[in-house]
Amino acid sequence: VGVGVRRWVTCHGIAVNVERRALQNFSGIVPCGLKGREVGCVNDILDTHMTVKEFTVFMKEAMEEVFQIQLVDDDMLDIGED
């Protein structure tokens, strides 16, 4: 989860690693400033494998429930199975 503030405007974001291969790009950073901690992925903690597409659907439904909102599908975000 990331939060940024610039000129009294806040920006919020979230990043979730689903596949282990996505972690290669994080080898040179200290996640959230926590030294000695490693970046993980969803599939490291699940008993069954989940694709990025499956996680996207799950995350959308969870966010809609928690925040009581309706997210709009964006066809421009073509998330493949790889």
| Residues that are catalytic | 32
Left if phi > 0, otherwise alpha if psi is -120 to 50, otherwise beta: which for 26?
alpha
SS3 (DSSP) at 55:
helix
